[in-house]
Amino acid sequence: MPTTILLTSFQTWLPDQKSNASDDLLLKLQAENDPFPDQAIFLTFLRQLPVDVFPASDLAIAQIEHLQPDVVICCGMAESRSQLTVEAGATPRYLVAQVYWFIYYIVLQQIFSFQGLSYCLSALLGSKTNFKTHFLKTAVDLEDLVEGLTETEMSYDAGKFVCEGLYYQVLSYLRDYAPTTGCIFVHVPVLTPENISPILTDFRLILSRLAIWVTIQRQNQRIDTTTAA
């Protein structure tokens, strides 16, 4: 059975940006005829999501519901980083950067809740305890995922803004509605002629290892089902 992987990227968010590195990386991968000749991997792309947490999350979750992928890989740009960074998880602390949209949440967002209000109030009061309590961790073993990769490392800082917001919303959805689906967030540095080849090599290896992870999860599920029977 093939492994289905959904990959997402963002649009630019500043007028002087010609492109978003996350989208540049997916575009390179998408242009390759057969990046995984020895594995049954089906890639599907949701590129150039808006740089806005809730519209981006709605689009990503709608595609997840439609496609029902085995793995979701959300990608975003990190201009200050020099390597691919795979995020361990996410919290709702992205709301700190969006406090000035507080009224927008209350008036316009259908998914606004009292829980969301508590997050915003924590941001306004400067409390970090609530965010740590609501940390959502990826189910993927990231240490195994990045072991031996030359251009990739783990990260515990998903960015506190739209990147972390999307990651948190997707992880939250998967926890509640598709717990067997894996999800990671990958931050991509600005791509240059010098770094594009090794970064793309690492990224392919990440996808290949995730396909192996999916195979192991399926085997474990079959064992659990057999044992329960």
Domains of the chain: 3-91+139-221 (3.40.630.20), 92-134 (no CATH)
- The answer to whether residues 179 and 70 touch, using CB atoms and an 8 Å cutoff, is no
Nearest alpha-carbon partner for 24 in 84, 88, 86? 84
Please tell me the predicted confidence (pLDDT) of residue 95.
67
- The answer to whether residues 42 and 2 touch, using CB atoms and an 8 Å cutoff, is yes
Please tell me the predicted confidence (pLDDT) of residue 203.
98
C-alpha 22/C-alpha 47 separation (Å) is 9
Query: Radius of gyration of the chain from Cα atoms?
Result: 18
- The answer to whether residues 84 and 199 touch, using CB atoms and an 8 Å cutoff, is yes
Please tell me the predicted confidence (pLDDT) of residue 99.
53
- The answer to whether residues 184 and 142 touch, using CB atoms and an 8 Å cutoff, is yes
Please tell me the predicted confidence (pLDDT) of residue 103.
46
C-alpha 20/C-alpha 10 separation (Å) is 7
Please tell me the predicted confidence (pLDDT) of residue 161.
86
Spell out, as residue ranges, where the chain has pLDDT lower than 70. 94-133, 225-229
C-alpha 192/C-alpha 111 separation (Å) is 39
Please tell me the predicted confidence (pLDDT) of residue 110.
45
Please tell me the predicted confidence (pLDDT) of residue 22.
98
Please tell me the predicted confidence (pLDDT) of residue 105.
46
Please tell me the predicted confidence (pLDDT) of residue 126.
47
Q: What one-letter code names the amino acid at 36? A: F
This prediction has a pTM of 0.84
